[in-house]
Structure 1
Amino acid sequence: MNSFVHKTMVVQLQAGVTDRFPVLAHLSYDAADPFAVTVVFSHDGRVLARWQLDREMLADGLTRPVGIGDVRMRPESRGSWEELRMEFLGDAHPDGGRHHAVVFAWTATLAAFLRETYEVVAPGREEVRVDEFLSDVIAGG
């Protein structure tokens, strides 16, 4: 059985209040880290940002607002389009503000990706290998 899922999709990066432009989102899921989905945003061959998201939070964000920290998500409708609004807060600026990005992704594509991850590791069947984790922590420091 395949333990890895990957999907590349076009998302919309919000620029300013209303303008958007397309960027690629490369989503990956690995059964070795069953709670996480990694998203790499890129444009013209350059990596713009890399985020590791909680898989359950991503799924919940398709139906209701979630997140109170650096990542916040909520569903939005734009006519016949159902989108997931993802807000990312990054490092602080020297002036005290923070880097901030808002990305919109088509809900149906994200839901299809999540269904593929559920075929690899069903929700609630994730395992935490505590002994391996502790060995890695001890070996590293």
Structure 2
Amino acid sequence: MNSFVHRTLVMQLQAGTADRFPVLAHLGYDAEDPFAVSAVFSHDGRVLARWRLDREMLADGLRGPVGVGDVRMRPESTDRWEELRLDFFGDPRSDGGHHHAAVFAWAPAIASFLEETYAVVPPGREQVRLDDFLAEVIAEG
């Protein structure tokens, strides 16, 4: 069985009060890191941002608001379809606020991606190799 899931989706990016524009989102899931989903956002061949998202938080965000701090998610309904809104907060600005971008994804596409990850590692069956983790921490320390 394949231990990696990859999906490329077109999402909509909105920074500040500007209109939305399309970006590619490359989502990845690896059974070796069972709690995380990697997200790489790109436009015109340039990487705009890389994030590691919590898989459970991503699923919970389809049902209701989740997150505090740098990453927050919530479902949003438009007259066109159901979306997942991902809010990313970055470095501080000179006015005391933080840089902020919102990304909108078609909720059924996110749900489908998550279902593929559940086929690799079902929710609640994630395992952390504690010995490997401790060795990595000690090596870095």
> TM-score normalised by the shorter chain: which range applies?
over 0.9
Change (3 A) 1:16 1:69: closer
Partner of 1:27 in structure 2? 27
Determine the structure 1 residue equivalent to 2:72: 72
Please list the CA deviations of residues 24-80 of structure 1 after superposition, one character each: whole Å capped at 9, or x if unmatched. 000000000000000000000000000000000000000111011111110011114
1:74-114 per-position Cα deviation (integer Å, ceiling 9, x unaligned): 00111140000110001223443322100100001000000
* Structure 2 residue 121 is the aligned partner of structure 1 residue 124: no
| Alignment map for 1:90-105 (pairs within 5 Å) | 90-105=90-105
In structure 2, what is the Cα distance between the partners aligned to 1:4 and 1:50?
Answer: 18
Q: What residue in structure 1 maps to residue 2 of structure 2?
A: 2
User: Where in structure 1 are there 5+ consecutive unaligned residues?
Assistant: none
CA contact (8 A) 2:15 2:100 kept: no
**Residues 42 and 16 (structure 1), Cα distance of their counterparts in 2 relative to 1, 3 Å cut:** same
State the percentage of identical aligned residues: 73
CA RMSD of aligned residues (A): 1.2
Paired residue secondary structure (1:66): coil
Which consecutive residues of structure 2, in runs of 5 or more, have no partner in the other structure? none
Q: Given residue 110 of structure 2, which amino acid in structure 1 is its aligned partner? A: L
1:36 aligned residue: 36
Moved more, 91-100 or 115-124: 91-100
- Partners of 1:22 and 1:128 lie apart in 2 by 36
SS at match of 1:32: coil
1:51 maps to 51
Q: Distance in 2 between matches of 1:82 and 1:6?
A: 22
Between the two proteins, the alignment pairs up a number of residues equal to 141
